[in-house]
A and B are shown apart, each in its own frame.
Chain A
Amino acid sequence: MRLEVAQGVSPIEPPPLPEAGRLKSMLHLYAVSAKTAVVVGFQYRVANYFYMIGMLTEPVIYLVVWSTIARSQGGVVGGYTPGAFAAYYIVWTLVRQMNIVFTPYGWEWRIREGQLAGALLRPVHPIHYDLADLAGWKVVVIVMWLPIAVVLSLIFHPSIHPTGLGVGVFAFAIWGAYLIRSMNLWLLGMITFWTTRVSAIFELYFALELLLSGRLVPLSLMPAWVRTVAAFLPFKWTFGFPIEALIGQLNTGQLFFGLAMQAMWVTLGALAVKLMWRFGVRRFTAVGT
């Protein structure tokens, strides 16, 4: 039985008018995406907690090793006491969570499963979904991190001397770290537009990041030449800088310089993403999924 259809005779109504203001619409998109991520995050709160607890192994090992070394050397290594190490690695646990972004491995899945094709059909750059979605998840993470921080503090007795300014800078710096790392990993992930076998490149990046960010060890304990190299790279602004800002190791000038460096790396990263995206999508739409 044929159903009644228009078959080329109906006038076409115009589509709904967009709401006024691109910025307002973009903020609305971020708010809705983040809200959705919060809902999902709390829905899977138990799984998320186990995930966070599982991630404590790495900093606890670093903390125990460095505290032992400090005690064996008269209580201080490179200016760090066991209490200072405890403060560093407890804040580390939050900064690490803020550093979790959409991974290059996720890109392979996204292309293979057609998720990227779906995103390309929408009139918004896909990076906005990633940023907003994970930003919402970070809100959940911060709330869930607080009891973990309390427990770790009771066990390891951190020596922490935050200033009001340091706390304020930290509040911005963790989001700056999130944005820098998002841009960097988007750039890495977009390599999958050209080849899907890029694990070796990813691993090299992660190794450099581990050594030059302050994740493995506070950068002040590294040799001078490593610190010099790190100063010219984005890694330390995603890890060491926010931690040092909160535990009170930086003066006012260093705090503002750090925020400025973060702003610079976010800007550079965003420009690089824009450029690479243009070529990558051209490649993607040339070869298909």
Chain B
Amino acid sequence: MSGTTSVVRVADLRKTFVVPERDAGLKAAVRSLVRRKTKEVHAVDGISFDIAPGEVVGFLGPNGAGKTTTLKMLSGLLYPSSGEASVLGHVPSRREKDFLRQITLVMGNRNQLQWDIPAADSFELNRAIYRIPADEFRRLRDELVELLDVQDLVRKPVRNLSLGERMKMEIVGALLHRPRVLFLDEPTIGLDVTMQKRIRTFIAGYNLRYGATVLLTSHYMKDVQALCRRVIVIHHGRILFDGDLSALGGRFAAYKTIGVTVSDGAADLTPYGEVIHRDGDTVTLRVAKADTARITARLLSEQAVADLTIEDPPIEDVIERVFAEERAE
């Protein structure tokens, strides 16, 4: 990807925190009065990537991997320890007004709307903050409210809304200035399946309509699968994978699943692999990736096969395996 066309550019970006450290107990507490121990935590440890205009990229990793720290550096909330970051040609840590007017950071667990008043009043405040012309504001507000189907909710005090309804309002408020870059940190956290789907559809619609660039973190793989062709996997502050979501399984999955329908439903298929599911005549086998071709050939020659499919394991399993392997190292 050419660096000149990138909306987000990150080169060898690092963030190191110095945190106090002491053992439990009174003795350790007294000792810490005279001798304070600290340790360095490398939250982000030399990551590099580019994101093109309009791209929707999934940023995956377990808790503490460095995802939120990266998003905070890219939105100007954290100053990097070293390395370079550029968003829309701006250095985020300078927090220039022109930069702030073109980005948004939505954190699923943070509430920015005023609690006691209807969201509509908070939206008016955002209009004043971002200096949005009145007609443009009305048009965009109505459009976003319609897209998220929250017409009936904007006049209710925020404290009377459910978690999902509040999240929708947060998103409307965060997009009223029509940001070109969206940093979304767990936007669907704690929401039910229907609400998650609604928000996913909305993000896709916003991206399509405005060509906005999106960097999304989520623990829900459905969010990532629905929205992101490209994913960046980060763990212990380092990038483990940056590429097509479809290639992630090929890179990290050590096995494949073979779905086979045989005429003799009672046949014992355990010699071919681990039977993980059986539904009538159809059996799902888990086999080592390297053995897939050989076992498929054996099945076809030795059994009366009516149908056969070979699939990568579910992406959740792949991600889980990536993190499990890292933990084991």
Chain B residues, CB < 8 A from A8 = 52-55
Q: A7-B56, A121-B76 are in contact. List 17 more A-B contacts (CB 8 A).
A: A1-B226, A5-B204, A5-B207, A10-B208, A12-B53, A12-B211, A13-B211, A18-B132, A39-B117, A117-B110, A121-B103, A122-B129, A123-B129, A123-B130, A124-B129, A285-B93, A286-B78
Closest to B230 in A: A7
Closest to A117 in B: B77
Chain A residues, CB < 8 A from B178 = 13, 15-16
Chain B residues, CB < 8 A from A33 = 125, 128
B121 close to A39 (CB less than 8 A) = yes
Give the docked Cα–Cα distance between A287 and B72 (Å). Answer: 12
Q: Which of A6, A19, A114, A120 contacts B208 (CB 8 A)?
A: A6
| Given A2-B225, A114-B110, A285-B93: A13 and B128 interface contact (C-beta under 8 Å) | no
Give the docked Cα–Cα distance between A7 and B180 (Å). Answer: 14
The interface-forming segment of B94-102, B263-271, B280-288 is B94-102
Q: Which of A6, A19, A122, A282 contacts B54 (CB 8 A)?
A: A6
Task: Give the residue among A7, A17, A118, A281 with the most B Cβ atoms within 10 A.
Answer: A7
- Count chain A residues whose beta carbon lies closer than 8 angstroms to a beta carbon of B: 43
Q: CB of A36 within 8 A of chain B? A: yes
Give the docked Cα–Cα distance between A117 and B225 (Å). Answer: 30
Number of A-B contacts (CB under 8 A): 147
A11 close to B77 (CB less than 8 A) = no
Q: CB of B313 within 8 A of chain A? A: no
Q: CB of B255 within 8 A of chain A? A: no
Q: CB of A161 within 8 A of chain B? A: no
Residues of B within 8 A of A (CB): 7, 17, 52-56, 69, 72, 75-79, 93, 95, 97-98, 100-105, 107, 110, 112, 114, 116-117, 121-122, 124-125, 127-133, 136-137, 140, 177-180, 200-201, 204, 207-208, 210-213, 225-227, 229-230
Q: CB of A40 within 8 A of chain B? A: yes
20 A-B interface contacts by CB (under 8 A): A2-B226, A2-B227, A3-B201, A6-B212, A8-B53, A8-B54, A10-B208, A12-B180, A16-B130, A16-B140, A16-B178, A18-B133, A19-B133, A25-B128, A39-B117, A123-B98, A285-B77, A286-B78, A286-B79, A288-B69
Q: Which of A19, A32, A286 contacts B124 (CB 8 A)?
A: A32
Task: Give the residue among B79, B105, B200 with the most A Cβ atoms within 10 A.
Answer: B79
Q: CB of A165 within 8 A of chain B? A: no
Give the docked Cα–Cα distance between A122 and B56 (Å). Answer: 23
B204 close to A4 (CB less than 8 A) = yes
Chain B residues, CB < 8 A from A282 = 79
Q: Which of B69, B116, B125 contacts A32 (CB 8 A)?
A: B125
B101 close to A43 (CB less than 8 A) = no
Tell me the smallest distance from the CB of A43 to a CB of chain B, in Å.
6
B102 close to A121 (CB less than 8 A) = no
Give the docked Cα–Cα distance between A239 and B127 (Å). Answer: 36
Tell me the smallest distance from the CB of A114 to a CB of chain B, in Å.
5
Chain A residues, CB < 8 A from B211 = 6, 10-13
Give the docked Cα–Cα distance between A18 and B95 (Å). Answer: 18
A121 close to B53 (CB less than 8 A) = no
A7 close to B201 (CB less than 8 A) = no
Interface residues of A in 15-44 (CB under 8 A from B): 15-19, 25, 28-29, 31-33, 36, 39-40, 43-44
A9 close to B54 (CB less than 8 A) = yes
Tell me the smallest distance from the CB of B16 to a CB of chain A, in Å.
10
Interface residues of A in 99-135 (CB under 8 A from B): 114, 117-118, 120-124
Q: Which of A3, A25, A32, A281 contacts B227 (CB 8 A)?
A: A3
Give the docked Cα–Cα distance between A123 and B178 (Å). Answer: 14
Chain B residues, CB < 8 A from A29 = 125, 128-129
Give the docked Cα–Cα distance between A39 and B103 (Å). Answer: 30
Tell me the smallest distance from the CB of A10 to a CB of chain B, in Å.
3
Tell me the smallest distance from the CB of A278 to a CB of chain B, in Å.
11
Give the docked Cα–Cα distance between A10 and B140 (Å). Answer: 19
Task: Give the residue among A9, A16, A39, A122 with the most B Cβ atoms within 10 A.
Answer: A16
B105 close to A36 (CB less than 8 A) = no
Chain A residues, CB < 8 A from B129 = 29, 122-124
Tell me the smallest distance from the CB of A215 to a CB of chain B, in Å.
30
A121 close to B229 (CB less than 8 A) = no
Give the docked Cα–Cα distance between A5 and B114 (Å). Answer: 32
Chain A residues, CB < 8 A from B98 = 123
Give the docked Cα–Cα distance between A11 and B178 (Å). Answer: 14
Tell me the smallest distance from the CB of A112 to a CB of chain B, in Å.
12
Chain A residues, CB < 8 A from B125 = 29, 32-33, 36
Closest to B97 in A: A123
Tell me the smallest distance from the CB of B120 to a CB of chain A, in Å.
11
Q: Which of A2, A12, A114, A286 contacts B107 (CB 8 A)?
A: A114
A16 close to B136 (CB less than 8 A) = yes
Q: Which of B52, B110, B177 contacts A16 (CB 8 A)?
A: B177
Give the docked Cα–Cα distance between A21 and B227 (Å). Answer: 39
Chain B residues, CB < 8 A from A19 = 131-133
Closest to A39 in B: B117
Q: Which of B77, B78, B105, B207 contacts A6 (CB 8 A)?
A: B207
Closest to A40 in B: B116
Closest to B137 in A: A16
B78 close to A28 (CB less than 8 A) = no
Give the docked Cα–Cα distance between A259 and B281 (Å). Answer: 92
Chain B residues, CB < 8 A from A287 = 17
Chain A residues, CB < 8 A from B136 = 16
